[in-house]
Amino acid sequence: MKQQKSRLAVLQEDITTLAVDAIVNAANSSLLGGGGVDGAIHRAAGPELLAFCRGLGGCPTGEARITPGFRLPARYVIHTVGPVWHGGGRGEARLLASCYRSVFALAAQHELASLAFPAVSCGVYGYPRDAAACIAVAECLAGLTANPRLEVVYLVAFDAAMAQTYRRFACPPDA
């Protein structure tokens, strides 16, 4: 089986354009849409996504829910609710790690082969990018190790700075 690192890739893209099994949405606990990547995903998926989400009854921080992708090129959307950054003393790191683990649990349950994450909590929710990238890379490598069926996981940055941050953690120079 290919090493975990070769199955983890960094992209600088609009996540709504990716034809993967599932894209991850950085949602809020209502699951009824918002701005940022949440708004972009709902716009691209079409109104059926919101209608479907209305029936889910929301999602607690750190957990995830799966829906069809509707008009998106991705088959599914896995909505996860990241923590709002309050300085690090309210369990933010544990909750962010929990987002990734919850997504990987749903990916395994649905036998997905490809997955793409945005930088959960790094926008409106204010999570420091370096700390978030460190958690994202660690949890993605662990998720890939635990699930050989998962062929590739993409960490999708929306800007060059976030892409560089991801690369610093995902592909450190050989020691």
Among 10, 22, 24, 37, binds ligand APR (CB under 6 A): 37
Among 156, 165, 166, 170, binds ligand APR (CB under 6 A): 156
Angle between helices 129-146 and 160-170 (to 10 degrees): 50
Report, in Å, the least distance between residue 148 CB and ligand APR.
Answer: 27
Provide the 10 A C-beta neighbour count for residue 48. 13
**How far is it, in rounded angstroms, from Cα 105 to Cα 8?**
17
Question: In whole angstroms, what separates CA 22 from the centre of its chain?
Answer: 9
Q: Which of 11, 12, 5 is nearest to 170 (CA)?
A: 5
152 residue type, one letter: V
Contact stretch for ligand APR (CB under 6 A) within 51-59, 69-77, 120-128, 138-146: 120-128
Query: Catalytic site residue 14?
Result: no
Q: Which of 169, 173, 175, 174 is nearest to 10 (CA)?
A: 169
Among 15, 53, 59, 66, binds ligand APR (CB under 6 A): 15
Question: Is the Cβ of residue 27 or residue 147 nearer to ligand APR in the bound state?
Answer: 27
Q: Is 131 in the site for ligand APR (CB under 6 A)?
A: no
Q: Which of 123, 82, 107, 95 is nearest to 23 (CA)?
A: 107
Contact stretch for ligand APR (CB under 6 A) within 11-19, 51-59, 70-78, 135-143: 11-19
Give yes or no for a contact between 20 and 114, defined as CB atoms under 8 angstroms apart.
yes
- Binding mask 79-118 toward ligand APR (x if CB under 6 A, else -) reads ---x-----------------------------------x
Residues that bind ligand APR (CB under 6 A): 14-16, 26-28, 34-40, 82, 118-125, 156, 158, 162
